[in-house]
Structure 1
Amino acid sequence: MAREPIVTESPLGEDPERDLRPQRIADMVGQREVMQRLDIVLDAARKRGEPLGHILFDGPPGLGKTTFATCIPREMNVPLVTSSGPALKAPKDLIPYLTNLEEGAVLFIDEIHRMPKPVEEYLYTAMEDFRLDIVLGEGVNARTINLKLKQFTLIGATTRAGMLSGPLRDRFHIREHLGFYTVEELVEIIRRNSRKLQIPLTDEAAVEIARRSRGTPRVANNRLRWVRDYADSKAGGSATLEVARAALLMAGVDVLGLDKQDRGYLETIIRVFGGGPVGVDAVAHTMNLATDTLSDEVEPFLLRSELVVRTPRGRVVTTKAYQHLQIKPIEKPKETDQRMFE
């Protein structure tokens, strides 16, 4: 049975936890070049009275792809309909979304790279010609119905743009890659959200949280919430630098933003595999974790932080990682001398 499309109203409600997400593009922090380009295409579309061209956002999780997708319909004053790649398992699941769209509406598909190939192919004519070709019947009795769609904007979000087929990627008029945030940008986000959550937060505490947030607003917000909980429980509700450090220490988050799993990954390579090189499958089996968990959640930040490198032979821990973990590098044994066996 096909899913009913989910229509999101322009306001997200009065829940402060959800309102941490900006409501307008002008309220967003960071991604300045992306925002400037979007301002131009939004302004041009409004002046022409036309729907916005299809947009693809790609980049690591937590950098604002969904925020952009929810802010754009508000800027255009059009409805937003949301779905996700895993939910669209067959073309019949996509049909209700497309046929019920209003003129100029935005259809947002999160994790669009996870759509099956038949569903993806169904989007080709919908995106290009605003038409659906529906086949009724089978064999010699089959006939095709061309269903005209109202003009709409498709916004796709993906963490793996390389998994999208070329024909689908080419049908997006605008492609934007979202990068990581600076500490200064995260500090501003934390300050704004501390006011929304009504947390007395010092500037030093905001900087400390930002430094340990991996350049990612979602991580910063999650760690801000944890500091708030800790401050309410242990420090009378005030989040000073000392309180923030104590809260993050209890959560196992160190000065670089590494958590227990990150450090366990590095320590496993050092302790069991002599610092590498070693394949990710071997590390995953040793840690009793799924390989995808390491490659998708753990390794990207460690690679970006230059704590581990990928080589043709496998992962290798860097000198910086040894220094951070305060572990002395293990001296590699020399090749066995043949004379020992003579």
Structure 2
Amino acid sequence: MADVRDAGTPDDEVELAIEGALRPTSLAEFVGQQKVRGQLQLLLDAARIQQRSPDHILLSGPPGLGKTTLAMIVAHESGRPLRLSSGPAIQHAGDLAALLSSLTPGEVLFIDEIHRMARSAEEMLYLAMEDFRIDIMVGKGAGATSIPLDLAPFTLVGATTRAGLLPNPLRDRFGFTAHLEYYEPEELERVVSRSASMLDVGLPGTARSEIARRSRGTPRIANRLLRRVRDYLVVNGPSTGTDEGHADVRTVGAALDLYDVDAIGLDRLDRAVLDALVRRFRGGPVGLSTLAVAVGEEPETIESVVEPYLVRIGFMGRTPRGRVATPEAYDHLGAPHPDGMLRFSRGS
């Protein structure tokens, strides 16, 4: 669902500016995650009163819930510069050493997908977080020596979708850890309302509810769907009987149906997985690798992208023998329940 215009045009620059503008810049503007917002506000207020850098922060949770945005807010509300990096980009201890040694005093360092850092870099980070110092090895073999290098005080904000993969010594060095939860539909409506006003898209309450309902509890998806509705309006607005820049619930439904997003947020791949599980494997149980081959995707994609949402809404279950479909999945596909279906029901 990416834009198809040539990169580098002025319109592309406008789109990038709009994407950045949709991110809230303060905790007061941030929608949802009320408990985490309150905890972060206390952390930042205490640091400001004591005139020190905030403690290191670990944010965990599914993609698209606002971890990067919260890191930007931490830097903005602290009045500190922000440095962005990611775990996959730090594959050697030297990569991390170069990054840490270039930080200015008080700078906020954000590392996305921190669980994917190289193990050697993780071990270097222990000392850097605790004592603001790293040890640089010079030479090789018996003649190698360790030279300590002092670092400017900094605040590390780590983000991860797989908190269980972080080693305990690293997790314990964060002064504050928070887990972000999926959003309720009412919260997503507020996200859509705010973004729609910034994109100059008129949406009545029913249209906002329709987008929120198809957004899988995720603000990033809500904003993406809103932009696709805006694109649909630009091309087809007059023919739908609505004013340009204004969408009713039928227009929203038509736009999202065009992009294969159904009434509860399932996309083409979600439905392909459900269809294979229900019709080809008779509701399971079936192994992840077999299911992935049946839909032509990698097992990692099924496990990390498709499965979490299907399990959360009660359409799929995970058992020791493999994945199984629930009665709700059969109902959604309009397929008849097989004998013995109740044993796969949610909560059984």
The one of 147, 151, 154 aligned to 2:153: 151
Query: Which of 139, 156, 159 is the equivalent residue of 1:137?
Result: 139
Could you tell me which residue of structure 2 aligns to residue 308 of structure 1?
316
Query: What RMSD, in angstroms, separates the aligned Cα atoms of the two structures?
Result: 1.4
Q: How does 1:269-280 map to 2 (within 5 A)?
A: 269-280=277-288
- 1:143 is displaced (CA, Å) by 1.4
Match in the other structure for 2:345: none
Classify the secondary structure of the residue corresponding to 1:269.
Answer: helix
Quick check: 1:181–1:215 contact (8 Å CA) kept in 2? yes
Cα distance in 1 for partners of 2:278, 2:18 equals 43
Question: What residue is the counterpart of 1:110 in the other structure?
Answer: 112
Cα shift at 1:332? 6.6
Q: Which amino acid aligns with 2:46?
A: A
1:69 aligns with 2:71: yes
- Per-residue CA deviation, residues 133-179 of structure 1 (Å, 9 max, x unaligned), is 11111223221111111111111000000111111111111000000
Shift of 1:325: 1.2
Deviation at 1:331, TM superposition (A): 3.6
CA distance in 1 between counterparts of 2:260 and 2:110 reads: 36
Contact 1:274 1:332 in 2 (8 A): no
Q: Is 1:24 aligned to 2:26, yes or no?
A: yes
TM-score w.r.t. the length of structure 1 is: 0.92
Q: Residue 278 of structure 1: SS of its match in structure 2?
A: coil
Equivalent runs, 1:1-342 vs 2, <5 Å: 15-236=17-238, 237=244, 238-331=246-339
Instruction: Confirm or deny: 8 A CA contact 1:187 1:206 kept in the other structure.
Output: yes
The DSSP-based 3-state class of the residue aligned with 1:309 is strand
With structure 2 as the length reference, what TM-score do the two structures score? Answer: 0.90
Q: 1:208-243: per-residue Cα shift (whole Å, max 9, x none)?
A: 000110000000001000111111111233211110
Following superposition, the deviation at residue 14 of structure 1 comes to 8.6
Task: Tell me the distance in 2 between the aligned counterparts of 1:149 and 1:282.
Answer: 50
Q: Distance in 1 between matches of 2:37 and 2:319?
A: 36
Q: Distance in 1 between matches of 2:185 and 2:251?
A: 19
- Structure 1 unaligned segments of length 5 or more: list them: 1-12, 334-342
Encode CA deviations 1:175-221: one digit per residue, 9 max, x unaligned.
00000001111001101100111112221100100011000000000
- How far did 1:330 drift? 3.0
Runs of 4+ with deviation above 6 angstroms: none
| Aligned residue type for 1:34 | V
